[in-house]
A and B are shown apart, each in its own frame.
Chain A
């Protein structure tokens, strides 16, 4: 089997990127803040919107995983990649060859949609913009506790500087890590963490039901099991006029999209995602998720069988 990517290579690359660029993929800051161009924020507010950067990273994650799959021989076309790595060594950012403006636009819209929903409810909030720091969740998941702690303290310091008392989060991973893990790593961390589903009132965004499309609802693991938001997620989807159907493993018993190990073992990750697609596709050709990791991983694995949408794309 050709060139299986070693754990240390992935880990080192992520850590180095985080230290240099404040995000694990080594993206330039403007790619993470592009969505906010022309929008106004109240940075004097004690409430901030925290994107965590995950939605913005999706096209680059897709490109990275595609590259890793080529390199590891899971899909053809890895020879050029091997040569590149021999010359420059492993860095996840060597893989972003094919990201198009259309792709980045799709994921930026998800964030601006949330922005509009918050505004519509009259919520006042700031945004850290180019000072926003990634939460470090991937380091925590890899067991890199020291490096994670370093990032956590940086972000906590930044929030303190800006006198942020409350963060509105938009993905389950950042929400969980900030709410449940940060207090264990940052002394006195007391920023209130609120996921948008906990904050927004579903009935304020009511739309007529479109019964022509059925969405198989996929519960993101952390959203269902750690944040206990399965019901709110459904309430939201319903009020947005979506007709939803329940797959075999759902709510607290949901089946993971495979995404969390996509950078460790992309081929295993993809097999898991394909299994989930089979379960979801039994109910129709559209799937609903509410997590950037699920959106990326299921989006890639299911693309021949179904369209995968994030809840925030449906508003």
Chain B
């Protein structure tokens, strides 16, 4: 959505008065600040950072060739793989894969937010549930994600309790985090068990092997991709790496820089589920999905690869830059576009919504370089935001 500088300023001024948002973001950032230096300073994490920032440069240079190779490899694996140039193209592909009566469960996916998949499916009659707890809370509040890894960062426990009370017709104490999480778990497990389609994102996809890599702590991605008959992966062209090993490195790095000292689950998925246990004859599915689909969204990325925004495409979406950004700390998601917020999110907004949408946002950057300091891909984030300011677009 294109807004003027004054409109953005108004929104940012009113966000300063949003006590719930300020509380949620404040607590989240404080918790992150207390632990991230300990994780970043680890020698293994530093080594990974060096490797992954090199890898990201390589990926950017070879972006077209890599995503095309991934589509070939995925197809060889028996996966239906598509390139979607626009948001509309991606939705049209989904329209054919998913029938209007189906129950759909979905794990967190920023690409999903980018194309508005939840609303699209609901409007055509699908029942859709977010299985990531943060994204589930976002769904209940009908908002955009505040941050890349913790979408409900701006919603403090008090507000979660109120949202849950409305959804489940039952009182929750804000301090009963266990009770709230257990309620969501039971509710979502039931939905997952009955779902026809599971949509997930991907942290990385390998060009050579055609393997999709995901990293998570909740366990919802694994359930979402294996329980329903169909598994749809929504990802984007810049997430393709040369090999599966590269993908695992990227996934681990994303988890570390998001503030976790180790990920709970890393999943590698290459084909629909099958078994050859009876006479070595392949039968699909075994326990997992019967059909697997991968959609690689472009939505401005390939154009950006040859523009002043190209460095932004090296982002692995760990969200570290957002969690140290002083502007984000007071304005939360109000400093952002339709999907992406704060720091590298301003650059992403320029890539997927256009420079004209991101330019009015860019002026609120402090150029303090806190973002650059924590970026695992070594992106000059504030420098790229400054280029937005100086771009000639009106």
Q: Which of B324, B326, B391 contacts A272 (CB 8 A)?
A: B326
Q: Which residue of B has the minimal Cβ distance to A258?
A: B326
Measured in the bound complex, the distance between the Cα atoms of B37 and A271 in whole Å is 25
Residues of B near A272 (CB, < 8 A) are 326-327, 329-330, 366
Residues of A near B206 (CB, < 8 A) are none
Contact, CB under 8 Å: A6 / B324: no
Measured in the bound complex, the distance between the Cα atoms of B331 and A265 in whole Å is 12
Q: Which of B14, B37, B363 contacts A253 (CB 8 A)?
A: B37
- Which of B81-89, B295-303, B337-345, B382-390 faces chain A? B382-390
The residues in A between 126 and 167 inclusive whose CB is less than 8 angstroms from any CB of B are: 140-145
Q: Does A264 contact B (CB under 8 A)?
A: yes
1/0 per position for A247-268, CB-CB distance to B under 8 A?
A: 0110011111011110011011
B56: min CB distance to chain A, Å? 21
Q: Which of B331, B362, B366 contacts A256 (CB 8 A)?
A: B366
- Which of A37-45, A193-201, A218-226 faces chain B? A218-226
Contact, CB under 8 Å: A143 / B5: no
Q: Which of A222, A258, A264 contacts B369 (CB 8 A)?
A: A222
Contact, CB under 8 Å: B390 / A143: yes
The residues in B between 338 and 394 inclusive whose CB is less than 8 angstroms from any CB of A are: 362-370, 372-374, 386-391
Known: A253-B373, A254-B370. A265 touches B12 (CB 8 A): yes
Measured in the bound complex, the distance between the Cα atoms of B390 and A141 in whole Å is 9
Contact, CB under 8 Å: B370 / A256: yes
Known: A4-B10, A265-B364. A145 touches B33 (CB 8 A): no
Residues of A near B6 (CB, < 8 A) are 4, 6
Q: Which of B13, B330, B363, B387 contacts A4 (CB 8 A)?
A: B13
Measured in the bound complex, the distance between the Cα atoms of B10 and A118 in whole Å is 47
Q: Does A79 contact B (CB under 8 A)?
A: no
Contact, CB under 8 Å: B373 / A225: yes
Known: A144-B390, A268-B16, A271-B16. A221 touches B329 (CB 8 A): no
Q: Which residue of A has the minimal Cβ distance to B387?
A: A143
Contact, CB under 8 Å: A268 / B331: yes
Q: Does A275 contact B (CB under 8 A)?
A: yes
B284: min CB distance to chain A, Å? 50
Contact, CB under 8 Å: B388 / A143: yes
Measured in the bound complex, the distance between the Cα atoms of B368 and A254 in whole Å is 9
Q: Does B157 contact A (CB under 8 A)?
A: no
Known: A143-B389, A226-B369. A7 touches B364 (CB 8 A): no
Contact, CB under 8 Å: B367 / A248: no
Count chain B residues whose beta carbon lies closer than 8 angstroms to a beta carbon of A: 37
The SS class assigned to the B binding surface is helix
Contact, CB under 8 Å: A7 / B369: no
Contact, CB under 8 Å: A261 / B366: yes
Q: Does A101 contact B (CB under 8 A)?
A: no
Contact, CB under 8 Å: A268 / B373: no
Q: Which residue of A has the minimal Cβ distance to B335?
A: A268
B241: min CB distance to chain A, Å? 29
Contact, CB under 8 Å: B369 / A268: no
1/0 per position for B312-328, CB-CB distance to A under 8 A?
A: 00000000000010110
| Most-contacted residue by chain B among A249, A271, A272 (CB, 10 A) | A271
The residues in A between 60 and 105 inclusive whose CB is less than 8 angstroms from any CB of B are: 72
Contact, CB under 8 Å: A221 / B368: yes
Residues of A near B373 (CB, < 8 A) are 225, 252-253
Contact, CB under 8 Å: A268 / B370: no
Measured in the bound complex, the distance between the Cα atoms of B236 and A47 in whole Å is 54
Contact, CB under 8 Å: B330 / A275: yes
Residues of A near B362 (CB, < 8 A) are 143
Known: A261-B363, A261-B364, A268-B13. A221 touches B369 (CB 8 A): yes
Q: Which residue of B has the minimal Cβ distance to A260?
A: B366
Residues of A near B389 (CB, < 8 A) are 142-143
Measured in the bound complex, the distance between the Cα atoms of B360 and A6 in whole Å is 11
| Most-contacted residue by chain B among A226, A272, A276 (CB, 10 A) | A272
1/0 per position for B93-128, CB-CB distance to A under 8 A?
A: 000000000000000000000000000000000000
Measured in the bound complex, the distance between the Cα atoms of B373 and A261 in whole Å is 20
Contact, CB under 8 Å: A260 / B12: no
List, sorted by A's number, 8 A–B pairs whose CB atoms are closer than 8 Å: A1-B10, A4-B13, A141-B386, A248-B30, A252-B373, A256-B326, A261-B366, A272-B329
Query: Which residues of B does A touch, CB under 8 Å?
Result: 5-6, 9-10, 12-14, 16, 26, 30, 33-34, 37, 324, 326-327, 329-331, 362-370, 372-374, 386-391
